[in-house]
Structure formats: C-alpha cells, structure tokens
Amino acid sequence: MDTTLKKLNLGCGEDKKEGYVNVDFHSHVKPDVVHDLNVVPYPFAESTFDLVEAYHVLEHLDKPFVVMKELHRILKPGGTIHIKVPHFSRGFTHPEHKSGFDLMFPFYFNKNFTKSGYFGVDFKHVKSELHWAAHKHLYAAVGVPKPIILIVFGLNTFLNALARLSPNLCSRLWCFWVGGFEEVEFVLTCEK
C-alpha cells in the first residue's frame, strides 16, 4: 500500500514544490498540471489529496467558495487545506485581486454557524492567524534596504503576537491603527 502523502500546490506560480502536484494557469512557469482554477471540476479524482496548499491564490479567482467546494471534493477525509490570502485591511494590493478576506471565512463551512451562508461542505477550523508583514522576498525585490527589512519583520513578530491575543478585535479595529495586516492564514481539515 502506498503511504506517501499526496500533496497539491494550488496556483504554484514560480514556487514549485518537490513532492507536490504543482498546478497553475500559466504554462510559462511549467507547472505539473496547467489548469484554469476558475474552471471546475479540477482534473483530479475525488478524495485524491492529503494536503492542499493555496498560498495567495483564492483572491485571484472569481468564486472562492466554489473553489473551496472543489477542494473539498479532491481532499481525502481528514485532509488538510492550508490557505494564505490578503487580509481585507490592506485593500486590494494587486490589480487582479477579486476578493479580500477576514477571519470569518472558515465559518461559512460550518453548518452550525449560519444556514444562509453555509456553502454545503464541511471543514473543521484548525487555525486562523493574522500576519502584519508577509512576502519578505518582495521587500528586497523592490529595493527596500536590508536594515529596514529587519526592522519591519521585527515589528511583524511583535504585532503578530499582539494579534494572536484577540484576533477578532484586531481584525475589526486595531489593524487600521497599524496600517493593516498583509495576510491571513487559515488551516482547515476536510470533514466528509
């Protein structure tokens, strides 16, 4: 019996990962599978993957909840999805972003949260975390001097720790006092 974890790197871009099926719309990045992620079903059988990573992908797609239903289909029961998306407080920082996200996103996959907002598939919410600064590599790419990067990411550590004390209060109020959070991270497990 094959015990190797089946892992999917959704919207891999240039960040292709060894041991993963790397999927992207852009053929020039040479993913393992070229697929438009707005088109469902994806070219994978039901209950194929143990882990799906979707880092800064959902915000580019037309219907993130439809995509989440599709990810539920291709995840094994108990499989994990790890998502990173922009937090709404930073606004739409890329011209192709279609959505902003807040800490409520995982609740729409819990039928006990709300009947009108439930999207018909169950994910167990494992973790949500706000990140004040993300994408350290991009700071250097746009010419931010190394000492400034060190200061920003030192401050990031401090602000992230404060945000963990009361994520909802942070997301609703004081994130605007610190210039917004760049990213919100979710970890969910698939319930079937």
Question: What domains can you pick out in the chain, each with its CATH number?
Answer: 7-133+181-191 (3.40.50.150)
Regions in the chain scoring below 70 on pLDDT: 1-3, 91-93
- Residue 58 has a pLDDT of 94
Q: Is 51 helix (H, G, I), strand (E, B) or coil?
A: strand
163 sits in which H/E element: helix 146-165
Cα dihedral across residues 34, 66, 135, 20: positive or negative: negative
If we measure between CA atoms, which residue out of 70, 67, 85, 105 comes closest to residue 188?
105
- Residue 144 has a pLDDT of 92
- Residue 174 has a pLDDT of 78
If we measure between CA atoms, which residue out of 98, 137, 115, 113 comes closest to residue 14?
137
CB burial readout 145-184, b (16+ within 10 A) else e: eeeeeeeeeeebeebbeebeeebeebbeeebeeeebbbbb
pLDDT tens digits for 171-182? 878 777 888 888
